[in-house]
Amino acid sequence: MPLALYALTAGAFGIGVTEFVIMGLLLEVGADLGVSTSAAGFLISGYALGVVVGAPLLTILTSRWPRKTVLLALMAIFIVGNLACALAPTYGMLMAARVLTAFAHGTFFGVGSVVATRLVPADRKASAIALMFTGLTVATVLGVPFGTWLGQAAGWRATFWAVTLVGIAAFAVLALAVPQDGKPPSAGDWRADVRALGRRPVLLGLLTTVLGYAGVFAVFTYIAPILTQITGFGEAAISPILLLFGGGLVVGNLVGGKLADRALVPALLGSLATLALVLLAMGPALNSAWTALIAVTLLGATAFATVPPLQMWVLSKADGAGESLASSFNIAAFNLGNALGAFAGGLVIDSGPGLGYVTWTAALFPLIALGIAVLAVRLDRASGRPAEVGYVG
């Protein structure tokens, strides 16, 4: 893999840390800024909203720029946003800084996915996307625990100072390693990109992403109470168990990329089906400590095994027109899936049958996504389009 791909991975690592590290620092942030823990938790929702809004907006605004320039501008936003987080004197300022930082997220992964596929031969494009997303998975496994420890030991602001330094390093590596490119093919008319986004295959691909990933976060959002109240683990065991989940993310992401390179449609359908099976099996598995550990690891692996196929699927359906916008929208779709899954899981707990049924409910989402993907493949074949379109660059 070319060095430029590892530069994209470095940027993805920094973005992954800043997205998730706040989860481990809610108590410290709340105490320092004089807000409740639940109010501090809204900093997570604010970030997700920033991703959803920023992804299409910045992609359209930068559609006439060379892609390397776009990536560097996004990392600059990331650096300024994290610096503002470290210096924020009030809760409102911290929320605004988090939203600003999130604006870089969706477009970075969206444009970065397009750049990654241009750096490798046709039979390694999904693996290239997977390698970039490895930065996000490693951030979950290593960066977030370290950032949490640093914030608890030296104050939560120290974590954002550290992430700012990571952003500066990533900016330098991107500037040195990513080759300069010309203007995107659709630079002349962003409206053509929007029209391409409205194609039925692209819309079905985005819907598949939203529903497929909703099942993951319906469970992961409530993984701590699930493991303590159902399986019987102590609270101190949660962090080590989440390392198993993170290890599964890394492996599943890389395997999903390789499988998607071999055959995109089977990889997409197979990964969604496997995720649904793991969620279904997780219910009874939670009754035993050992099987629960296996289930959590498999959940991580199957969760991110879907990411490269889903991202490559939407890219292929854009078919070269509006690819950056479609790719960025798909990153927003992942975040919408996160929000939908967390909401559905909360509904099951508060107004439904209870915590023990969250995994069963979660399995419905990838099953529905699987049905939509199968429908999309059949519609493609009926219309004479190949179901497994390669990336057009």
Q: Classify 185-393 by CATH class.
A: mainly alpha
3-state SS of the chain? CCHHHHHHHHHHHHHHHHHHHHHHHHHHHHHHHCCCHHHHHHHHHHHHHHHHHHHHHHHHHCCCCCHHHHHHHHHHHHHHHHHHHHHCCCHHHHHHHHHHHHHHHHHHHHHHHHHHHHCCCHHHHHHHHHHHHHHHHHHHHHHHHHHHHHHHHHCHHHHHHHHHHHHHHHHHHHHHHCCCCCCCCCCCCHHHHHHHHCCHHHHHHHHHHHHHHHHHHHHHCCHHHHHHHHHCCCHHHHHHHHHHHHHHHHHHHHHHHHHHHHCHHHHHHHHHHHHHHHHHHHHHHCCCHHHHHHHHHHHHHHHHHCHHHHHHHHHHHHCCCCHHHHHHHHHHHHHHHHHHHHHHHHHHHHHCCCHHHHHHHHHHHHHHHHHHHHHHHHHHHHCCCCCCCCCCC
pLDDT tens profile 330-359: 888 887 887 788 788 888 887 778 888 889
Ranking 85-99, 206-220, 305-319 by mean pLDDT, the lowest is 305-319
In CATH, what is the architecture of 1-184?
Up-down Bundle (1.20)
Q: What are the pLDDT digits (tens) for 233-250? A: 887 787 788 788 888 888
| Number of CB atoms found within 10 A of residue 264's CB | 23
**Dihedral sign for Cα atoms in the order 232, 301, 265, 377:** positive
> Residue 165 — very low, low, confident or very high, per pLDDT cuts 50/70/90?
very high
Query: What confidence score (pLDDT) does residue 136 get?
Result: 79
- Write out pLDDT tens, residues 4-34: 888 888 888 888 888 777 777 777 888 899 8
Q: Is the confidence at residue 393, as pLDDT, over 50?
A: no
Domain ranges, ordered by start, for the chain: 1-184, 185-393
- Confidence grade of residue 189 (pLDDT, cut at 50, 70, 90): low
Supply the pTM of this predicted model. Answer: 0.76
Going by pLDDT thresholds of 50, 70 and 90, the confidence category of residue 391 is very low
